[in-house]
Structure formats: structure tokens, C-alpha cells
Structure 1
Amino acid sequence: MATIQSELTSVEFVASASGHRLGIARLAATGGIAAALFFILCWLGLFIPLASPSHAYIGLFTTAEPTSAAALLQGGLWSLAFGVLMGELVAGLYNLLSGLDRR
């Protein structure tokens, strides 16, 4: 355990034997929420009359008419699931490869 002290604070750091690890559930939740919110923003972007560059992203997660409520529901849920999966994969691989850090 290392202690850093200054005039204002005292902070203790506990160094684990395996180094820094990411919380898989936390990163999975973060990835899922971020992917679902991004999908919703793209779906809303379809209603801007200037251009609709988000059709391709919407099409990744649903086959419904892009501007329909069904597309919002299906795509939102599938993008949430995709984000959770990607968050789990990233955190799991990060933790698995922690032995590659220089010590």
C-alpha cells in the first residue's frame, strides 16, 4: 500500500498483484447504455430533413421501416444487447491480457 500526502489530502493506493482490472458488469452496462443512446440519436436524426446519414446504422439492428416506432424498439433493444456484449468482450480481454503490462 502506498500513501500520497499533501497539505490538503491523504490518498492511499492499494496495488494488486495482477495490476488494474476493469469491472466486466460495469463496462457491459456502460457499453449497452451508450449503444442504445447512440441508436436513439441516430433514429431521431432520421427526422432531420437536411440529410439522413444514419440509415445504415439503423439497418444494423432492425429490418423495420427506419422511421417507425417498431424500428426504435427493436433497434434500441438489439443495440443495447450489442453494447452489453461488446462491453463484456472489451473488459474480459483487457483483464485477460493484463499480464502483458510492463512491471
Structure 2
Amino acid sequence: MPRKSKQEIFTYFKTEVGQNKIHVIKTGLETGSIKTFPQIVAIIAKTNLQSLLGGEFYAFDKKLDDPGRFSFNEAEILADFFQVKFEIMRDFIRKNQVESKKRRKKK
């Protein structure tokens, strides 16, 4: 199945089903009940997020493994998409970055 364009992604997430998914993630980020990227990817396909941010698919996988690779622009895009404040998205990415470093040190 071909990858969706940004326009197709935005169109889908303006539908009721898409808005419900965004609302679940928005609420989870704001309340802290969503703590990791795999929780987000369980709600919204990883390919949709990768298409939204642009770049290569494998580079996106590396960003999920090491969230410190996300740029401020990408954090802002995600914050806008999930309809949360930039600071919430930034803090979410930072917490995931710290946890990622802890996991790598244990190995």
C-alpha cells in the first residue's frame, strides 16, 4: 500500500474517527497517561507520523528509539498535529529521551 501524502493524512484526521484519535492522544499527553511513543503508535500508524514529519522511514524509527534526534521543528509539528502546547510535546520527548538513555546504559 503506498504511503499517504500529508494532505491525505490531514484530510483523514479531520474526519470524526480521526479527530477521536487525536483527542485520545491530546488528552493522554496533557494528563500524562501517554508516556511513550509506542502508545502513540498504537493509536496512529507510524507511517502516518513519518509522512507528517517527512524524511526517511528508517530515520523515523531511529528517532523513536532515540527521541533526542527529534528537532524542535518536528516537536512543533507534532504538537500542532496533536493539538497540544509545544511545551507538553517537548517535555514528552525529553522524558522519552531520558528513559531511552537509561535503557541503553543497562545493556
Q: TM-score, normalised by structure 1?
A: 0.31
Q: Looking at CA atoms only, which structure, 1 or 2, has the larger radius of gyration?
A: 1
Higher relative contact order (CA 8 A, sep 6+): 1
Higher strand share: 1
Higher helix share: 2
